[in-house]
Amino acid sequence: MKIYLIENGTMTSTEDIEQTIHPPANGFYWIQARLFDLDILQSLFHLHPLAIEDCIDEEEQRPKLEVYQDHYFMVSNSIQFHNEDIFLREVNIFLGKHYIITVSKFEIDEIRIFPSIIREEEIHSPDSFLYYFMDQLIESYFDVMEEIQDLIENLEEQVLLKAKNSHLSQIVGLRREILYAKKIMAPQRDLIYALQTMDLALISPNLRKYFIDIHENAVKIVENFETFRELIGNVREAYQSSVSNRTNEIMRIFTALTTIFMPLTVVTGIYGMNFDLMPELHTRYGYFLVLFIMVTLATTMYAIFKRNDWL
């Protein structure tokens, strides 16, 4: 557990959890907690048992806002994109009058870098902390979007150049990750909208309007993921078209070759019949004449096919 006192734009670290009950008039406490810290935090701040259950639940929680008597509980998410897979990082947030608690099962970049943001921005209350923190979480989606967009563009170029079997599994996997990102972003958008529109005593009216910008970004992210879904669908169609064209090309070559050898088969079939009275069999140069005719037929048909771009 890490405890910080944020007062007059400065942040100092402390190890005395008991003093968080009596914050200074112009300051508040930020507590970075792990799951094993929840028991002592619940006893100190009287956190609601249902919120504690949501924190320790191993099931993936949807982003949401729960309003209790003297504190709010929020579930939010940060995402990362690595090796074409999206990894969800859940963050549980308790917002009180003089404190804000962030609980996470994993190390989250937004929490790690937030002390530097506190020093740069005018953060003087738990609700202003919440605003900047939620803004950072939403920014993580933009980073993922850029990576996905680059991946789609590169994949499209490869498919148009030469479609491979590995491209199909890559397309299907990427589409699955895009749908997953959109699925977890939609309730995140609703959470921001609730913070923006609900009459919440712990969030000042002047600050509430600033959540509009975050909500607009969240809406934009959902729309972009929908666009990505359509783009990856177009890439799949391009892949199927490329494979179909290649199959047609192979079939055209086989058809042309079959057509070339068809008259040769007729000739060899005629002279392969078991009859004695075939004048050509007793002609001195009949064998060479038949070979010449067969070569001439094959060469002529090949030239015709080549001139018409059938081969």
Under a CB-based contact definition with an 8 Å cutoff, are residues 207 and 149 in contact?
A: no
pLDDT above 90: percentage of residues in the chain: 21
For the chain, report the end-to-end CA distance as a whole number of angstroms: 73
Under a CB-based contact definition with an 8 Å cutoff, are residues 236 and 171 in contact?
A: yes
DSSP assignment of 139-191 equals HHHHHHHHHHHHHHHHHHHHHHH---HHHHHHHHHHHHHHHHHHHHHHHHHHH
- SS3 state at 78: strand
Q: Residue 282's pLDDT band (boundaries 50, 70, 90)?
A: low
Per-residue pLDDT tens over the stretch 124-133: 889 988 998 8
CA atoms in the 13 A half-sphere facing the CB of 192 = 27
Taking 70 as the threshold, does the pLDDT of residue 140 lie above it?
Answer: yes
Reported as type and span, the H/E element at residue 218 is helix 211-270
| Residue ranges, CATH 3.30.460.20, the chain | 2-244
| Residue ranges, CATH 1.20.58.340, the chain | 250-307
Pairwise CA distance, residues 299 & 292, whole Å: 10
Whole-angstrom CA distances from 182 to 159, 174, 224 are 25, 12, 9
Higher pLDDT pick, 125 / 271: 125
Superfamily assignment of 2-244 in CATH? CorA soluble domain-like (3.30.460.20)
Q: What is the pLDDT of residue 110?
A: 61
Q: What is the pLDDT of residue 274?
A: 63
- SS3 state at 306: helix
Q: Residue 6's pLDDT band (boundaries 50, 70, 90)?
A: confident
CATH topology of domain 250-307: Methane Monooxygenase Hydroxylase; Chain G, domain 1 (1.20.58)
Token pair for residue 191?
A: 């959470």
Higher pLDDT pick, 46 / 8: 46
Per-residue pLDDT tens over the stretch 219-243: 999 999 999 999 999 998 888 888 8
Q: Residue 93's pLDDT band (boundaries 50, 70, 90)?
A: very high
Burial of 69 (0-12, 13-18, 19+ CB in 10 A): exposed
Torsion over CA of 113, 118, 119 and 125, rounded to 10 degrees?
Answer: -170
Under a CB-based contact definition with an 8 Å cutoff, are residues 271 and 290 in contact?
A: yes
Strand order through the sheet with 27-33: 10-14, 2-7, 27-33, 99-104, 85-95, 72-82, 64-67
